Amino acid sequence: MDKAQYLVETHLLEGRSVSELAAAHGVHRSWIYKLLARYKAGGYGALERRSRAPRSSPNRTPAETVEAILSLREQLSAEGHDCGAQTIAHHLAHRSEVVPSVSTIWRVLKREGLVSPQPQKRPRSSLIRFEAELPNEMWQADVTHWPLAGHGHAEILNMIDDHSRLFLASRAFPTVKAADVVDVFRMAIALHGAPASLLCDNGAVFTATPRGGKVLLQIELERLGIAAKNSRPYHPQTCGKVERLHQTLKRYLSRQAPARTLAGLQAQLDGFTGYYNSTRPHRALGGRTPLQAYGARIKARPGAAADPDTHFRVRHDKVDTAGTVTLRHDSKLHHIGLGRAHKGKPVKLLVADRDIRVLDLHTGELIRRLTLDPSRDYQRIGGG
């Protein structure tokens, strides 16, 4: 028995006054009088709780607008694109003259059970965000993996502008090599100009500094006067923008027909890059597209190219049965001929960029001195 029925029956059966019941149970007398009137008109059924919602609401979102919101949400989700309230509002603006606010769209999605609360996320106020002041002030690059249909996988090299989030390049390879990084980097420069700096992690295709050497990318950056930056080991947050881009890209790829070849995957990457740069609004850019943000300000430029310091190395090796030793230069392996007479001999290589001296490890005798020819794999005896 609920409270309404209790009050009515107490008044009718026991004869207790309305004033007494109101004071005893903390309710207003007018409510008890309303209950008595409803009981006389319709019996106990009329005492059931009634909705307080108005019969009509002139400010309620029209049904056709709700349908458009839900339809667009389903379409964007099926295509693997961002389908949040701000993105939906952006697309609706191109389809209709009357566009509901982002908060209204969010409430529609929440009412339909399409917004999942994520209490595990850190509050936005706790985040420390870094953003380059100008386009081309800093680019970020990183490699991620993606499976091919049937068997095998591809490695995808992505590059993004730190200020505008412009998707500079996305290329698929069986395995990304040092020369591939330089080729894609040069291609991005041809389209957008050279950046002032490039931020990467410590992957072997990006840097050899931890190993005491240099890879092709580092040499190219020195040549162009572009500052090379590397994240702290095991700290992917430093390259957070390109890491986040990996997630967005993979969400899109997961909704596409699985690519069986690198060419098929590359076609999907090209399609996504165009959509991401010119169509998709970016929340971190105030609803602008990356292309709009990239074109809104002047571009940073690299500094003056400095003469690279001489790169010194000391390497120990053993002459093989063919009378050669190997040396890697600019990420390419070269064979240096010493003659079969030195087969099996332990040697020491003293390297100053392309100037190389090969010494007998035990006696210190100079076996050969040469200037490396980068265009040749085999450095024949008598060739330098």
Whole-number Å distance between alpha carbons of 215 and 206: 7
Whole-angstrom distance, CA of residue 225 vs CA of residue 54: 69
**Please, which pLDDT band fits residue 47 given cuts at 50, 70 and 90?**
confident
Q: Looking at residue 91, what is its pLDDT? A: 76
Q: 373, 340, 326: which is closest to 383 by C-alpha?
A: 373
- What integer is the mean pLDDT of 354-362? 85
Q: pLDDT (tens digit, 9 = 90+) per residue, 149-184? A: 878 899 999 999 999 999 999 999 999 998 899 999
Distance, in Å, from the CA atom of 270 to the CA atom of 273, rounded to the nearest integer, reads 5
Q: What is the pLDDT of residue 306?
A: 55
The pLDDT-based confidence of 123 (bands split at 50, 70, 90) is: low
Q: Is 383's pLDDT higher than 70?
A: no
Residue 304 corresponds to which tokens in the numbers above?
């003056």
Strands annotated E in 148-204: 153-161, 167-173, 197-200
pTM: 0.59
pLDDT digits (tens, 9 = 90+) for 307-348: 556 677 888 899 999 999 999 887 788 999 999 999 999 998
**Mean of pLDDT over the chain:** 83
Summarised one tens digit per residue, pLDDT across range 236-288 is 667 888 998 999 999 899 889 999 999 999 999 999 999 899 888 877 777 78
Place of tokens 């409803």: 38
Mutual angle of helices 18-25 and 29-42, in 10-degree steps: 120
pLDDT in tens, 283-301: 777 778 999 999 988 999 8
- 131-280+289-295: CATH homologous superfamily? Ribonuclease H-like superfamily/Ribonuclease H (3.30.420.10)
Residue 125: per-residue pLDDT:
53
Residue 129 has what pLDDT?
Answer: 61
